[in-house]
Amino acid sequence: MNDARDKGLTLNPKYDRDGLITAVVTDAESGDVLMVAHMNEEALGLTVQTGFAHFWSRSRQSLWKKGETSGHMLQVRDMRIDCDQDAVWVKAVPAGPTCHTGARSCFFRRIGPEGLTAVDVLE
């Protein structure tokens, strides 16, 4: 255990071998999980500095500001980092649908014995 990282109050993210940490985004009002993405050092820094969520796209290998083209930005209300500083929790106010499919959340399907079923995110 690294006491300075695990218990201290110094931001010291533990990025993976690709230079990324997982970011879980929830709705600041409802608590619903909206999306999961990844941040590199630049994305984390820009999110902290600007108050709007930035991520690293693994598929495009580029930095992106959520909602920059759609207008559905995520305004950050609070950010937390977990105990070993390898995951970030972003509480945000969405300016529209969060999912690229147009759904409010990326988690709009339930896994069950019969396969996938669509669900209302507010359930």
pLDDT tens digits, 71-121: 999 999 999 999 999 999 999 999 999 999 999 999 999 999 999 999 875
Mean pLDDT, the chain, rounded, equals 93
Q: Is residue 24 within 8 Å of residue 32, measured between CB atoms? A: no
Annotated binding site for Zn(2+): 83, 99, 106
Annotated binding site: 82-84, 86, 99, 106
User: How confident is the model at residue 6, as a pLDDT?
Assistant: 82
Q: pLDDT, tens digit, for every residue of 5-63?
A: 888 888 999 999 999 999 999 999 999 999 999 999 999 999 999 999 999 999 999 99
Annotated binding site for Mg(2+): 82, 84, 86
Q: How is domain 3-96 classified at the CATH fold level?
A: Ubiquitin-like (UB roll) (3.10.20)
DSSP state string for the chain: --HHHHHSSS------TTS-EEEEEEETTT--EEEEEEE-HHHHHHHHHHSB-EEEETTTTEEEETTTTTS--EEEEEEEE-TTSSEEEEEEEESS--STTS-SSS--EEEETTEEEE--TT-
Model pTM? Answer: 0.90
